[in-house]
Structure 1
Amino acid sequence: ANRYGQITYRCAEVAKEALAAGKDPIQAIVENTVESLNRRYSTMQIVGDHLAELIPQGGTILTQCFGETIIGTVIRAARCQNKDFKVFCAETRPYLQGARLTSGCFAQMGFDTTVITDNMVAYAMEREGIDLFTSAADTIARDGHIANKIGTFQIAILAKYFGIPYYVTGIPDQDKHSKDDIVIEMRDPQQVLSYRGIPNTVPEVKAIYPSFDVVPPHLISGVVTDKGVYVPYLLDHYFDSDVKKFY
C-alpha cells in the first residue's frame, strides 16, 4: 500500500508539473516511472548482492512466494560471484506464485530447481539438506516484525526447529513501528475453494484467505537491506544514517 500510494501521488505531481510547463503529462509520467524503477532496481541489486553472499557455495536454499526484484538481483549476484546452489520453492498456495514465478526464474537461469507443496516443508528441511530459508517481505516493521505471503510464519517456525537460518530481504517501512501497524488483507476465499474454475469442495464449505501472516523477530536470523544485514531487534537503526551497517 505504501509503495503504490507513493507511485500514484508522484505520478499526479509529475503530471501537474508537466501541464504547468506546457509539456505532455503522459510522457513525463513514463520518464519519471522509468527513473523510479531504475533507482529501485539499483537499490535492490545491493540487497541481492548481500543475500548472495550469505548463500553457501553448492548449498541449498528454500524460497517462499515470489520476491519481485530480489529474485532477479540475487540470481545476477550469484552469477557474478560464480556461485551455484540448489533451490527448493514452496509453491505458495492458493495463488502459486512460488511455483508459477520463482521456480521458473531460477530454473531458466540454470539453477537446479525443485517445487514442493506447502505441506512438504518439514520433509524437505529434514531430508533435502536445506541450508537457508529466504523470503522477501511485503512489510518490514521497525521492531523487526515482517509480513509476507501467508505460510511464511509456519516455514519460519520450522526453520527455527531445524536450526536453519531465515533471512528476510527488503527495505524497512519508516511508518510501520510495530506489528500493530500491519494490516492483513483478506482476499476472495473463492481462490481457496476452487482452482482454475474447478471446485475443491462441496458448496456447503466455507473458506478464508488471509493474504499475509506476520513473522516475529525471534524467528528471523537477519533482515537483508541495502545498508547491510540487520539483527531484527536492531532494525530501527536502519534509519539512523546512510552509513552501511552490518550486525
Structure 2
Amino acid sequence: MIRYDQNMPFLLKYENVAWYENGKVTILDRRLYPREVKFVICKSYREVVDAIRNMVTQSAGPYTAVGMAMALAAYESRDLANEKRIRFLEEAEKALRNSRPTTAFRYGKITSRALKIAKDAIKNDLDPVPLIFEDTVASLNRRYKTMQKVGDNLLKVIPDKGTILTQCFGETIIGALIAGAKKTNKKFKVICAETRPFLQGARLTASCFAEEGFDTTVVTDNMVADIMSKGMVDLFTSAADTITEDGSVVNKVGTYQIALLADYFSIPYYVTGIPDQGKKNLDAVKVEMRDPEEVLSFNGVKQCQLGVKGYYPSFDKTPSNLIKAVVTDKGIYKPEDLEEYFSVDQEEFY
C-alpha cells in the first residue's frame, strides 16, 4: 500500500493520529503538542471514547481513532461467546459513534463498517481484529488521497505570494495544502487564528506550516478585524465538521464571526471538505455544548474569579451566503450549485 502521509508534518503521520497495536490504541495528545510530545495509551474502547470527548484528538483525528477503537473492542471481546461478543461490539459501535454529537454522522460511517466486518469475521470463524485494523488504515489512506485533491483545488484560488487566514486545525487539508504547495513550488504566507480555548490554530495548524518552512504568523481570535482592515489577508479558509447540502458550514466556534468579517471586508471564504449527503441544512446539525470550565481555565489553570460562569458551544453555524465556494475533491462549487457534487459518482471517503 502506498502511504499518503509520507510528506506530511509530524502531527499527520498515521501512527501519530491513532494507532492500534497489541491490545492498545495510542493517540498523540493534541492538547499538549507542541509544548510536549506525549501519547495517550488506551486499553479499552471506552478509554478511546473518553479521549475523543476530552479533545486528546480532534478535527479528523477521531475518524481514525474510532476505527482503531473498534479493533480494540474486538480484541477486548476475544474470549466471549459469539453472541455476547457481537453484543459487546454493538455497544462499542454505538458509544464510539456518539462520542461527540455534532460529528456522530461521520464517525458512524466508520464504526458501522467496522461492526459489519467484525460480524462477518465472527460468522466465518475469523479474527476480526486485523481485519478492522486494515480497514481503518485503508480508510485513513483513502481520506489522505482524496483530501490531496481538495488541497490541490484550494491551491488554485490562493493568490501567488498571497496570505491566507486559517481557523482551528483542518487536519488532512493542512497536510494536503502543504504537500501540494511544495510540489508545485507555490508560495504563500499563513496567518493562524489561535482558536480559544484549546489553541488548535496556534499549536497545531501553525506548527504544521512552520515545520514545513512556511512564513507563519499567529494572531489572537480578537485581532481578525484588525488584520483584515489593514489588507493583511487575501483569503480565508477553513475545513468543516459538517458541510450541509445547501452549502452551509458547521465548524469550530469562531468560524462564523470570521466569515462575517471576511464578508464585510470583501475577502473570499473558501471552505474545504466533502459535503455530507443527508444533512439538508443547518437545522439538521446539533451543536455540542462543552464543559464551561474549559473556557474559564487555560492550560489547566483557573483564570476567573469564583462565581464567574462560562459558556462553550464547541461549534457554530455559518450560512451559505457568507461562503464564496466549497472546495471539494471533484472541484470548486458555489454553495447554490453544491447539489451538482452529489450528481457525480462518489468514491468512498470514510
User: TM-score, length-normalised on structure 1?
Assistant: 0.95
CA drift of 1:128 comes to 5.2
CA distance in 2, matches of 1:54, 1:100: 26
1:119 aligns with one of 222, 233, 238: 222
Match status 1:15 vs 2:118? yes
Could you say what secondary structure the match of 1:54 adopts? coil
Please identify, of 124-133 and 111-120, the stretch whose mean Cα deviation from structure 2 is larger.
Answer: 124-133
What letter is aligned with 1:87?
V
Could you say what secondary structure the match of 2:190 adopts? strand
Match status 1:183 vs 2:286? yes
CA drift of 1:127 comes to 2.2
Task: Decide whether the 8 Å contact of 1:60 with 1:129 is kept in 2.
Answer: yes
1:90 aligns with one of 193, 215, 220: 193
What letter is aligned with 2:190?
V
What letter is aligned with 2:248?
H
CA distance in 2, matches of 1:74, 1:213: 24
What letter is aligned with 2:181?
A
Aligned residue pairs total 243
1:206 aligns with one of 297, 309, 316: 309
Q: Which residue of 2 aligns with 1:162?
A: 265
Runs of 4+ in 1 over 6 A off after TM superposition: none
Task: Decide whether the 8 Å contact of 1:63 with 1:90 is kept in 2.
Answer: yes
1:70 aligns with one of 144, 169, 173: 173
CA drift of 1:242 comes to 3.0
Match status 1:102 vs 2:186? no
2:161 aligns with one of 45, 52, 58: 58
Please identify, of 119-128 and 57-66, the stretch whose mean Cα deviation from structure 2 is larger.
Answer: 119-128
CA distance in 1, matches of 2:267, 2:314: 25
CA distance in 2, matches of 1:224, 1:120: 26
Q: Which has the higher contact order (CA 8 A, sep 6+)?
A: 1
2:182 aligns with one of 53, 56, 79: 79
Residues 15-45 of structure 1, C-alpha deviations (whole Å, 9 max, x = no match): 1222223322111111111111111111111
Q: CA RMSD in A?
A: 1.2
Residues 175-220 of structure 1, C-alpha deviations (whole Å, 9 max, x = no match): 1001110111101111101112221211111111001111111110
Task: Decide whether the 8 Å contact of 1:58 with 1:86 is kept in 2.
Answer: yes
What letter is aligned with 2:274?
I
CA drift of 1:86 comes to 0.6
Query: Please, which runs of 5 or more residues in structure 2 have no aligned partner?
Result: 1-103
Query: Please, which runs of 5 or more residues in structure 1 have no aligned partner?
Result: none
CA distance in 1, matches of 2:183, 2:156: 11
CA distance in 2, matches of 1:197, 1:240: 48
CA distance in 1, matches of 2:299, 2:196: 13
Could you say what secondary structure the match of 1:101 adopts? helix
What letter is aligned with 1:240?
S
CA distance in 2, matches of 1:79, 1:128: 26
Residues 133-179 of structure 1, C-alpha deviations (whole Å, 9 max, x = no match): 00000001111211010000000111111111100001111110011
CA distance in 2, matches of 1:76, 1:223: 20
Task: Decide whether the 8 Å contact of 1:89 with 1:113 is kept in 2.
Answer: yes
User: TM-score, length-normalised on structure 2?
Assistant: 0.68
CA distance in 2, matches of 1:107, 1:40: 23
What letter is aligned with 1:44?
M
Q: Which residue of 2 aligns with 1:151?
A: 254
Same amino acid, percent of matched pairs: 61
CA distance in 2, matches of 1:106, 1:237: 33
What letter is aligned with 2:269?
Y
What letter is aligned with 1:183?
K
What letter is aligned with 2:275?
P
CA distance in 1, matches of 2:232, 2:218: 15
What letter is aligned with 1:197?
G
